[in-house]
Structure 1
Amino acid sequence: MTVLFTLIIVLFVAVAIWQLVKIFDLAQVSTDTSNGGIATDYDNKVNGYLMLWFLAFIYIFTIICLIYWGHMPLMSNAASEHGAQIDNLMIISMVLLFVVQALTQFLLHWFAFKYRGEQGKKALYYADNNTLEAIWTIIPVITLSGLIIYGLFTWTSIMNIDEDSDPMVVELYAQQFAWTARYAGQDNVLGKANVRLIDIDRANVLGIDEADPNAADDIIVKELHLVVGQPVVFEIRSQDVLHSAYMPHFRAQMNCVPGMITKFAFTPTITTKEMREKPDMIEKVQNINAIRAEKSIELMAKGEEALDPYDFHFLLLCNKICGKSHYNMQMNIIVETQEEFNAWIQEQQTFKESLK
């Protein structure tokens, strides 16, 4: 496929250069007045057939993309309760876009061919056509309104946090270029915090208010652990610039805005272990490790260290370009059973215990 893409790019570059040359020629003052610079029937016929060939190329290329990569937007790897809703909205949008693209491109190129210029034919001029204008205005309005309304209902259902479900409260703290998570502890209430209260000497790296009694049992970690089937509410802060908390498998994303707290909630539906055992995930990991093995051979030949084998993890990523090390801003997310989570959380220090 790399060779195919290279050939396509070379072809496009060649066509672009050819068009530039034609534009340059047209811009020159011509001494040939035999046809007054007007395209002949032959010119129009050639361009008409070229439009049909380009239409065929669009459809063939689209079919190839669907065969090789059509499964990617339809992957059923959502790991949260609302993930299926997001995926369904994406599928509907993609199908509509595909249908509209296929129809409009066909009409555009077919009309360019059918109504190409010919000697003796004169174009029919319409000052206006209320029926056509109503059709191509009303149909997009209805379609887009349906998508927007469906999207709003989907978003509302996702963001409607059910407090009766007793969700776990976790803070996600963003800074260039790392994530820190803070659990609310036994009282499930996060202590107050402000960046002006950051005290590196006392290991208060999040600016937590030490006088707030709710802060004493907070737990600060560098790896996020969640309980499968347990709703979780994220309160999100940023220390410096605009970041974005993005958890792709959970279909979750929320901006991290300095000076304010944003929220996002979801319920994990599958553990990390279960996701690793899925056949498509096993195949993906094997393919990645095969690539890493080849790269490791090259590195070792240069006297460098080999790459570690890859293992699947849910990830928290930054989805805003927040600086030169933006690409490295990520945190592992472990989804596990309640028993496994309890065993892990008991090993962590509370904020009060961590103060120097």
Structure 2
Amino acid sequence: MTVFLIIIVIALLGITLWQMSKILKLSKSHSSEDPSIATENDNKTQGYMMLGFLIVFNLFMLYNFWEYSRFYLPEAASAHGVQFDNLMFLSLGIIIFVQFITQFLLHYFTFIYRGQKGRRAYFYADNDKLEFVWTILPVLVLSGLIIYGLFTWSDIMNVEEDEDTIVIELYAYQFGWKARYAGEDNTLGKANVRFIKGINSVGVDESDTYAMDDKIVGSLHLPVNKKVLFKMRSQDVLHSAYFPFFRAQMNVVPGMITQFGFTPTITSEEMRNTDYMIDKVKTINEIRKENSEELVANGDMALDPYEFEYYLLCNKICGVSHYNMQMKIVVESEEDYKQWLAEQESFGETMAKQKDK
């Protein structure tokens, strides 16, 4: 009851103070200026502030583009990546151009048409020409971007599977990747998560003769300048196969097969020796060296030097170890690729060894 009375007293005190403020406002002389009405000096100040903000905003934007351009990915390492980058930079260029024009007009008009004594605003209900311009122009620009984007999408997504196409299955699971290559028959055997048992970790159908020469590996090797088509499966939850340097990404969905294809154009060694990557590796190793000094001082192991490699990443938050879900990608010459593939053990050989145990 005491608390309730205290609340009532506080509420009444607040109402009293509010009413007193109204009385004081009414008691002021009518000759004094109303502070709620902007003066000509206020309008001038606000106009210059808007002009100043326009200058500072654009300088800040240019600084960010200059300072953080080093975080851009280097040139695309796939054939379609050039189209992807062109579309992105074209869209970005249009956005920056339109942003600059509209922001300039907004802030400049606020400055030049600021309130002044004796000036009256010109009012008109509508302007058909202006309405036509700012309706048709965006329609034309967006239509052009959409049509260009559709053609780009079609070129990237419609991968024709012919004799020269290398078909590789990517198998996602919490929290890792496996790759399955077709053997000499160039045909992947059937697979299903229901067949997962023991060392058959990706669920290959042992009764399918096409599966016996398949090769299951923990790293991805790709021949340069050869078309690759990925067939993707997930064992458990939704994952996303993300190849940042190849400008490729595709969801890996449980219960269905998704696919994405591209042609690698830059080997791992060539990318490693680019000016961009040499500078980036140097910067990373300088940071790791500084961190290692602190670790060693605390009795821990020093960090190993960083060396660039392509990686396949998961771009969906698929669980607690999502950050660690990656697989090394090696892009190499066709001869090196064939030699590596020949050295890998086939699924049939693996199962035969298991039965002999």
TM-score over 0.5 for the pair: yes
Contact 1:165 1:231 survives alignment (8 Å): no
Give CA-to-partner distance per residue, 1:122-171, whole Å, 9 cap, x none: 33333332221221111111111111111111111112223335211101
Q: State the SS of the aligned residue for 2:260.
A: strand
Contact 2:241 2:252 survives alignment (8 Å): yes
Q: State the SS of the aligned residue for 2:180.
A: strand
Number of aligned positions between the proteins: 326
User: Which residue number corresponds to residue 331 of structure 2?
Assistant: 335
Q: State the SS of the aligned residue for 1:346.
A: helix
Displacement after TM superposition at 1:114 (Å) = 1.8
The residue correspondences of 1:202-217 to structure 2 (distance < 5 A) are: 203-217=199-213
Q: Does 1:151 align with 2:149?
A: yes
Displacement after TM superposition at 1:183 (Å) = 0.8
Give CA-to-partner distance per residue, 1:46-82, whole Å, 9 cap, x none: 1111111110111111221233234655x65211111
Separation in 1, partners of 2:288, 2:44: 53
Aligned equivalent of 1:284, options 280, 287, 311? 280
Give the gaps of 5 or more residues in structure 2.
1-20
Separation in 2, partners of 1:100, 1:174: 42
Separation in 2, partners of 1:353, 1:268: 30
Separation in 2, partners of 1:222, 1:331: 7
Separation in 2, partners of 1:109, 1:286: 44
The residue correspondences of 1:56-67 to structure 2 (distance < 5 A) are: 56-67=55-66
Separation in 1, partners of 2:254, 2:113: 58
Q: State the SS of the aligned residue for 2:343.
A: coil
Give CA-to-partner distance per residue, 1:305-335, whole Å, 9 cap, x none: 1111111111111112222222211111001
Separation in 2, partners of 1:114, 1:128: 22
Separation in 1, partners of 2:230, 2:124: 58
Q: State the SS of the aligned residue for 2:237.
A: coil
Separation in 2, partners of 1:186, 1:288: 42
User: Which residue number corresponds to residue 274 of structure 1?
Assistant: 270
Range with greater deviation from structure 2 (28-37 or 306-315): 28-37
User: Which residue number corresponds to residue 5 of structure 2?
Assistant: none
Separation in 1, partners of 2:226, 2:327: 20
Aligned equivalent of 1:256, options 244, 252, 255? 252
Q: Which amino acid aligns with 1:41?
A: E
User: Which residue number corresponds to residue 48 of structure 2?
Assistant: 49
The residue correspondences of 1:87-98 to structure 2 (distance < 5 A) are: 87-98=85-96
Range with greater deviation from structure 2 (316-325 or 293-302): 316-325
Contact 2:183 2:213 survives alignment (8 Å): yes
Q: Does 1:230 align with 2:226?
A: yes
Displacement after TM superposition at 1:36 (Å) = 6.1
Separation in 2, partners of 1:246, 1:168: 19
User: Which residue number corresponds to residue 352 of structure 1?
Assistant: 348
Larger radius of gyration: 2
Give the gaps of 5 or more residues in structure 1.
1-27
Q: Which amino acid aligns with 1:221?
A: V
User: Which residue number corresponds to residue 7 of structure 1?
Assistant: none
Identity %: 56
Q: Which amino acid aligns with 1:162?
A: E
Change over 3 Å in CA distance of 1:126–1:196 after alignment to 2: farther
Q: Which amino acid aligns with 1:157?
A: D
Aligned equivalent of 1:130, options 128, 131, 142? 128
Contact 1:228 1:267 survives alignment (8 Å): yes
User: Which residue number corresponds to residue 3 of structure 2?
Assistant: none
Q: Which amino acid aligns with 1:142?
A: L
Separation in 1, partners of 2:104, 2:40: 23
Q: Which amino acid aligns with 2:132?
A: A
User: Which residue number corresponds to residue 18 of structure 2?
Assistant: none
Contact 2:74 2:245 survives alignment (8 Å): no
Q: State the SS of the aligned residue for 1:163.
A: coil
The residue correspondences of 1:18-167 to structure 2 (distance < 5 A) are: 31=25, 34-35=33-34, 37-70=36-69, 73=72, 76-164=74-162, 166-167=164-165
TM-score normalised to structure 2 length = 0.86
Change over 3 Å in CA distance of 1:124–1:264 after alignment to 2: same
Change over 3 Å in CA distance of 1:148–1:255 after alignment to 2: same
User: Which residue number corresponds to residue 323 of structure 1?
Assistant: 319
Displacement after TM superposition at 1:342 (Å) = 2.0
Change over 3 Å in CA distance of 1:126–1:206 after alignment to 2: farther
Separation in 1, partners of 2:126, 2:233: 54
Q: Which amino acid aligns with 2:89?
A: I
Separation in 1, partners of 2:345, 2:123: 79
Separation in 2, partners of 1:226, 1:49: 59
Contact 1:169 1:232 survives alignment (8 Å): yes
Q: Which amino acid aligns with 1:119?
A: K
- Cα RMSD of the aligned pairs, angstroms, is 1.9
